[in-house]
Amino acid sequence: MNSGSTESEESRENPVVEVIPLEGWRQILAERMLSSHLTYAEVSQMREIDVTELGSLRQSLLSRLEEKYGFRLSYTHLLIKATAEALQRHPIVNSSLVDEEIRIFGNINIAVAVALDNGSLLTPVIRRADQKSVVEVAQETIRLTEQAKSRRLNLDDLQGGTFTVTNAGMYGTDFVTPLINAPQSAVLGVGRMVPKPVVRENQIVIRTMMGLSLTYDHRVLTGATAARFFQTLENIIENPKQMKLGI
């Protein structure tokens, strides 16, 4: 009796104002996330990377590309291109574990997470990102993002990804450790950019820093293998003039 009375009192004090059924895209997303969490041996590494020079490169290209092609080059576009180049140098990261076999793919197809207004998440795929110029990467990313938000994606646009990039920095997040997008072996989480005091050549200077996380399947990648890939990616981002932009 006492227990029922307490329950009734709690219901009156804190009434349920809405019930959202776990169905449709919510159910699909929930099932995929739980499957990823239960299937993968997930480990994350994090780095704070200096993106000052990347910002300078972007600034130097902004007006020229906008005038010629009609789009604004974003940090995400450059990060996708840098990630594709790092994957070229570390093919094992561009793989899937299938039927007790690690299958390394010849094409680097980068999925980009796109959050929709209703809370759902889609990951359209930029195929052969390593073979595309930064202009082509940007144009494809913009096209796929716009189609995702207007619900006009084809099923083919969502299939065949071999690595995922998800940017949570636009929401003020410093670090994010996303779940792996099955059947891939790794995902890059991108945090916000923040000016910070750092030491360079024994001097304290202000640099623009970004938090990155690499979450990977430990069954496929050892910690050392993942770290080497992360080091390569960091080097490309911090020294962006070495990037093969194709322009």
Residue 238: both structure tokens together:
């911090």
- DSSP characters over 88-99: HH-GGGSEEEET
In whole angstroms, give the CA distance from residue 216 to residue 226.
Answer: 8
Catalytic member of 37, 77, 90, 218: 218
Is 90 catalytic? The answer is: no
**Interacting residues of 244 by C-beta distance below 8 A, sequence separation 6+:** 85
- In what helix (H) or strand (E) does residue 130 lie, and over which residues does it extend? none
Contact, 104 vs 91, CB < 8 A?
A: yes
Distance of CA 133 to the CA centre of its chain: 19
Distance of CA 86 to the CA centre of its chain: 14
In whole angstroms, give the CA distance from residue 70 to residue 142.
Answer: 11
Distance of CA 238 to the CA centre of its chain: 18
**Interacting residues of 71 by C-beta distance below 8 A, sequence separation 6+:** 65, 138, 139, 142
Query: How crowded is the C-beta side of 101, counted as CA atoms within 13 Å?
Result: 5
H-type alpha helices, the chain: 2-13, 25-39, 52-69, 75-89, 134-149, 223-238
Residues taking part in catalysis: 218
